[in-house]
Structure 1
Amino acid sequence: MSSSSEGTSRESALLVVRRYAWAFDAQDSAALGELFTDDVRLEFVAEGGEWFSSQGLPAVLSMLEGSMRSEVRTRHLFTNELSSVNAAGEYEVDVYFLLVLRGARWAPASSGTYRFTVRPTPVGWRICRMVNHLDKVLDLDGS
């Protein structure tokens, strides 16, 4: 991959990751559906090793939609983006995150890391795997 095409590909992969945060926070299921491959896999690992996963676009969207409660607003804050190309030519994008929720007020809810695996498809770059490691999940009162 040439350095100019690699830069363009990297920016395209990063843009998909950023769009995920915006779509989730906007509770926009249609926009989320456009960001994933049909065979997408999501994995969530909480502090202490508890985890769950979901595979395939319908199951993943259903799981994400279940997390988007209209009475609670979210804001994903991503920082320290790192990206690399794996052997399959996909971009692996790692980010630190802070998730802030608004119930009665805005409060930190969780932090951790995401690893997004993003691949080129005929319709653009799409997330084919997302692994979320949660450091800690807080209650809305911040405890």
Structure 2
Amino acid sequence: MSSVADRQDAIETCTRMAWYADMREWEKLTELFADEVRLDYTSQHGGEPLTLSGKEVVDAWSGVLSAFTTTQHLLGSFLADVDGDTAVVTAMFQATHSMPSNSGGSLWTLSGRYRIGLARTRTGWEINEVVMTILWADGNQQLYTRAAEIAAGG
């Protein structure tokens, strides 16, 4: 049986992931990730899940998210299952992305579910898996395409 403190610490790590991404605190965000992270955004992009280093995850996120004027990732309805030194936190999310646009509006919002895998280390919980499942989206999806182009140098 996991303790309330274990579950709360795992949830706190996931909350910090969203907070640091929105606050553009890339170094702090990098510290949350394990050396190897399975990243599954196939519900948005298709394709196959990726396995990246924690730094590669943050580099990718920082490139795209920094292209937006602002982002807000809200997490809630947490379920945390801890089994020894591993944990899985499931949370509902709503992520709003803002960028000036000449057409289609300046907001793009996604909502869905995150499944976040964690492993306990000497210094706390590290994220080793992020699976995003989109349930709905609204607004100008072209903003993401534009942000990805800016991140790629375009």
Report TM bin, short chain.
0.7 to 0.9
Instruction: Give the CA deviation at 1:68.
Output: 1.6
RMSD (Å), alpha carbons: 2.6
Aligned to 2:150: none
**In the alignment, does 2:60 pair up with 1:27?**
no
Q: How many residues align?
A: 138
Inter-partner Cα distance in structure 1 for 2:26 and 2:43: 24
Contact 1:54/1:60 (8 A) holds in 2: no
> Relative to structure 1, is the Cα distance of residues 34 and 47 closer, same or farther in structure 2, using a 3 angstrom cutoff?
closer
**Hey, which of these two has a bigger chunk of strand by percent?**
1
| Residues 87-98 of structure 1 mapped to structure 2, 5 A cutoff | 89-98=85-94
Instruction: Give the CA deviation at 1:48.
Output: 8.7
Instruction: Give the CA deviation at 1:79.
Output: 1.6
Q: Which runs of 5+ in 2 are unaligned?
A: 143-154
The runs of 4+ residues in structure 1 deviating greater than 3 Å are 47-52, 104-108, 136-142
Aligned to 2:11: 14
What one-letter code is carried by the residue in structure 1 that aligns with 2:81?
Answer: S
Contact 1:54/1:63 (8 A) holds in 2: no
Deviations 1:2-28, CA, capped at 9 Å, x for gaps: x6xx11111110100000010000111
Contact 2:38/2:49 (8 A) holds in 1: no
**Hey, which of these two has a bigger chunk of helix by percent?**
2
Inter-partner Cα distance in structure 1 for 2:90 and 2:131: 9
